[in-house]
Amino acid sequence: MRHRKTGKRLGRNTSQRQALIRALLCGLFKYDAIETGLAKAKELRRFAEPLITLAKVDSTHHRRLAFARLRDKEAVSRLFTEIGPACANRPGGYTRVIRLDHRLGDGAPLAKIEIIDMVVKKEEGAKKK
């Protein structure tokens, strides 16, 4: 029975799944948006949202908690200097999953996951130029 077992397995064992989520999180925080499979994007949302909430308050303790999850100094510093302050006035729902077309090779559904406030800032900067 699967009582209280949350999350998708994504066809991997535990250590591979943790490494995959960590790599996807670092990519999301570095580039503000990434394209991946739909199941991975939906699962990634579960891990990204609490980290962005953590980044709203910049403290040593919160940075250490984020680094323990991400293991990437560049991603942690960008999370706390740019993404956290940009999402400070939003009460939740920091990411958006947009369904894309199917992958050509195997027909798997693709999705784009993006941080809403960071994408809005990029669009405003492009309009001003």
Q: pLDDT tens for residues 36-89?
A: 999 999 999 999 999 999 999 999 999 999 999 999 999 999 999 999 999 999
Q: Say how far apart CA 127 and CA 129 lie, in whole Å.
A: 5
Give the pLDDT of residue 119.
Answer: 81
This prediction's pTM: 0.91
- Identify the residue whose tokens are 């941080």: 115
Taking phi first (over 0 means left), then psi (-120 to 50 degrees means alpha), and beta for anything else, what does residue 92 get? left
Q: pLDDT tens for residues 118-129?
A: 887 777 888 777
CA distances from 5 to 8, 9, 22, 25, 46 (A): 9, 10, 20, 22, 14
HSE-up of 60 (CA within 13 Å, CB side)?
Answer: 0
Among candidates 123, 72, 103, which has minimal Cα distance to 51?
Answer: 72
Q: Which domains does the chain show, CATH number per domain? A: 14-128 (3.90.1030.10)
